[in-house]
């Protein structure tokens, strides 16, 4: 045995050569087991979905902080229940709305907070369209967007809405970012079967055009099916036991990579085998030559893809991070299967005369290309670089768009809700951006209210801002008659309106002044009369004093006369003869 033969006959190649049927049966058994013990990968992905929001993103942390500060919710999952009427919303719509809100509030298992603006006449304008034909209520749900709990919450809200009976002419939609994420995941899962079928149809047509052999195509498709089933099954098992998280994107990318890589690796083996056979080697020698030439290429290619996809795990955006581990594990399974079952199928097929080339292989075209590169390496390098630069030159104009509405069917419920909202509201109303203002003081003071209003004004001046709602402008526009210049100008209005009244009161005050003048004259006259009366009284006092003195003298003289006359009176009293005189 030569040195080349020693290198060619590796242990793996010799093992597969000895028991090719056992290798095929082992992979078939593994594929069947991993696809039977747990549900299909799509179902496992639905049951163990991860959040699609970056935990360290400022917006995510802000909405979490908002929910904690206001003690309202603890997730980033938000939906809008939109009511659209053929005519302006009336009392029937409001009655239905109140009943629907009560049902939503009662579902505390899935609904954390209901922002009921339209239910209050004072704040209804903030959630109602200008044409009065649409209104909405915002719901904060249990579970982050994209997670299994979040999807269950969205579905619960839809069940409540579907179970209600809106009045005629009223249409109800469940829309918003959480509903859109759920619909996008469902659309991805539903389209997976169609995408896989179309992919296999394209691969089958391509292989038929290349190999012109139905048996060869069927054997290649068999190996691809086994590799795809094993990769999906093993990832499903790991996801089912929560060893790794899954998402719709990971399932889709894993399926595409498994089909593409499995097909390529099968083409590598069969193509190299046919080249060896065309070079005159027998079947077994061609098999070992093929394995020696292709195995390290398959291994290097597979590990490169697995390593590249695993690096997605270190990205910040969960859209990409959720694809890292599942795709890397799936690619490792595909590589392992490609390096074992594909050569085993090659051995079994060639034993029955299959997988042989139907036409003579010609390398004339490739020889011409190689000769041209050797003769003119410089010009070919320059032309290649020019073509590459043309492609690179387009990159600066590339703009990443994460608006999921552009990538899912228009027939989905959330998209229909968005389109209904666009007929009455701005495009931002169903996906509002929230600015959280946090301070160490009371924001309800007049001074802080002015600060909040100034913040709202500055935000409204930014490009792309259609409407700003805040505590100082609940309807999205400044409150009527709330500006300082208007208040200053309005100060003269009540004075002007009261001017006639004030003039009448001034006339009454002048009349009172005239009456006070008359009263003063009367009081002065009374004062003069009282002064005269006081003088008369003073004279009367003097005359009375004199009259008292005269009276006292008369009393004294009468007493003297009485003392003089008393003896004579007594004599006449006691004299009998004089008593009759």
Structure tokens given for 294: 């292709």
Confidence of residue 361 (pLDDT cuts 50, 70, 90): low
In angstroms, rounded to a whole number, what is the distance separating the alpha carbons of residues 437 and 169?
A: 41
Query: At what angle are helices 11-18 and 283-310 packed, to 10 degrees?
Result: 120
In angstroms, rounded to a whole number, what is the distance separating the alpha carbons of residues 247 and 185?
A: 8
234-252 exposure pattern, b = at least 16 Cβ within 10 A, e = fewer: bbbbbbbeeebbbbbbbbb
pLDDT value at 236 more than 90? yes
Which run of H or of E encompasses 533? helix 499-574
pLDDT reported for residue 2: 40
**Average pLDDT across the chain, whole number:** 87
pLDDT reported for residue 8: 46
Confidence of residue 226 (pLDDT cuts 50, 70, 90): very high
The stretch 534-551 carries a mean pLDDT of 89
pLDDT reported for residue 449: 86
pLDDT reported for residue 332: 96
DSSP codes of every residue in 402-438: --GGGGS-TTSHHHHHHHHHHTTS-TTTTS-------
Please give the backbone phi and psi of residue 102, each rounded to the nearest 5 degrees, phi first.
-60, -40
CB contact set of 49 (below 8 Å; sequence gap of 6+)? 146, 147, 148, 151, 185, 245, 246, 247, 248
Q: Which of 346, 384, 316, 378 is nearest to 21 (CA)?
A: 346
Please give the backbone phi and psi of residue 427, each rounded to the nearest 5 degrees, phi first.
-65, -20
pLDDT value at 355 more than 90? no
pLDDT reported for residue 4: 41
CB contact set of 220 (below 8 Å; sequence gap of 6+)? 207, 263, 266, 267, 270
Sole residue written with tokens 């398959």? 298
Which run of H or of E encompasses 378? helix 377-393
pTM for this entry: 0.73
In angstroms, rounded to a whole number, what is the distance separating the alpha carbons of residues 503 and 516?
A: 20
DSSP codes of every residue in 51-93: P-S-TT-HHHHHHHHHHHHHTS-SSS-EEEEEEEESS---HHH
Which run of H or of E encompasses 489? helix 484-490
In angstroms, rounded to a whole number, what is the distance separating the alpha carbons of residues 311 and 322?
A: 11
Sole residue written with tokens 């169609």? 194
In angstroms, rounded to a whole number, what is the distance separating the alpha carbons of residues 339 and 300?
A: 11
Q: Are 327 and 254 in contact (CB under 8 A)?
A: yes
pLDDT reported for residue 430: 81
- What torsion do the CA atoms of 347, 352, 354, 358 make, to the nearest 10 degrees? 130
Instruction: Give residue 242's region: left, alpha or beta (phi > 0; psi -120 to 50).
Output: left
In angstroms, rounded to a whole number, what is the distance separating the alpha carbons of residues 286 and 290?
A: 6
Structure tokens given for 466: 């259609």
Sheet containing 134-141: order of strands: 111-115, 134-141, 78-85, 170-175
pLDDT value at 205 more than 80? yes
Give the pLDDT confidence of 437-492 residue by residue, as tens digits: 888 888 888 888 888 888 988 988 888 888 888 888 777 777 666 666 666 677 77
In angstroms, rounded to a whole number, what is the distance separating the alpha carbons of residues 141 and 74?
A: 8
Confidence of residue 360 (pLDDT cuts 50, 70, 90): low
* Residue 128 DSSP symbol: B
């Amino acid at each position: 045995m030569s040195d080349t033969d020693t290198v060619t006959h590796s242990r793996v190649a010799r093992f597969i050569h000895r028991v090719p049927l056992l290798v095929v049966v082992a992979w078939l058994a593994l594929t069947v087991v991993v696809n039977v013990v747990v549900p299909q990968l799509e179902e496992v992905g639905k049951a163990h979905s991860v959040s699609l929001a970056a935990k360290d993103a400022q917006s995510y942390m802000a909405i979490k902080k908002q929910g904690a500060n206001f003690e309202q919710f603890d997730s980033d999952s938000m939906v809008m229940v939109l009511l659209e009427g053929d005519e302006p919303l009336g009392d029937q719509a409001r009655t239905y709305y109140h009943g629907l809100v009560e049902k939503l509030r009662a579902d505390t298992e899935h609904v954390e907070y209901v922002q009921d603006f339209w239910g209050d006449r004072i704040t209804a304008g903030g959630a109602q369209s200008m044409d009065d034909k649409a209104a909405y209520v915002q719901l904060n749900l249990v579970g982050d967007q994209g997670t299994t709990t979040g999807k269950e919450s969205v579905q619960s809200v839809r069940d409540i809405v579907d179970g209600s009976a809106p009045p005629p002419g009223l249409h109800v939609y469940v829309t918003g970012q959480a509903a859109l994420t759920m619909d996008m995941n469902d659309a991805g899962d539903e389209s997976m079967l169609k995408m896989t079928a179309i992919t296999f149809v394209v691969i089958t047509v391509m292989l038929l055009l290349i190999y012109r052999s139905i048996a060869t195509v069927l054997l290649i498709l068999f190996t691809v099916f086994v590799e795809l089933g094993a990769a999906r099954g093993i990832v499903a098992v790991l996801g089912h036991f929560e060893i790794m998280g899954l998402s719709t994107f990971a399932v889709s990318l894993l399926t595409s990579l498994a089909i593409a890589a499995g097909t390529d690796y099968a083409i590598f083996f069969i193509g190299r085998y046919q080249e060896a056979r065309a070079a005159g080697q027998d079947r077994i020698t061609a098999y070992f030559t093929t394995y020696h030439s292709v195995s390290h290429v398959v291994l290097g290619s597979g590990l490169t893809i697995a390593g590249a996809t695993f690096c997605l795990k270190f990205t910040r955006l969960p859209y990409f991070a959720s694809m890292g581990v599942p795709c890397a594990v799936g690619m490792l399974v595909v590589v392992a299967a490609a390096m074992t079952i594909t050569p085993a199928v090659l051995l079994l097929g060639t034993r029955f005369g299959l997988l042989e080339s139907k036409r003579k292989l010609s390398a004339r075209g490739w020889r011409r290309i190689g000769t041209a590169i050797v003769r003119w390496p410089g010009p070919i390098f320059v032309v290649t670089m020019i073509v590459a630069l043309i492609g690179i030159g387009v990159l600066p104009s590339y703009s990443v768009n994460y608006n999921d509405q552009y990538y899912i069917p228009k027939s989905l419920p959330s998209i229909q809700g968005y389109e209904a909202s666009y007929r009455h509201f701005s495009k931002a109303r169903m996906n509002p951006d929230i600015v959280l203002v946090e301070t160490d003081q009371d924001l309800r003071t007049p001074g802080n209210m002015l600060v909040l209003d100034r913040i709202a004004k500055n935000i409204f001046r930014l490009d792309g801002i259609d409407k700003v709602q805040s505590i100082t402008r609940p309807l999205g526009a400044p409150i009527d008659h709330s500006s300082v210049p208007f208040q200053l100008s309005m100060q003269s209005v009540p004075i002007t309106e009261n001017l006639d009244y004030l003039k009448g009161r001034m006339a009454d005050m002048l009349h009172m002044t005239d009456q006070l003048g008359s009263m003063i004259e009367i009081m002065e006259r009374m004062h003069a009369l009282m002064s005269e009366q006081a003088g008369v009284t003073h004279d009367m006092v003097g005359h009375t004093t004199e009259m008292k003195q005269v009276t006292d003298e008369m009393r004294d003289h009468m007493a003297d006369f009485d003392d003089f006359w008393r003896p004579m009176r007594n004599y006449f009293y006691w004299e009998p003869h004089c008593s009759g005189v």
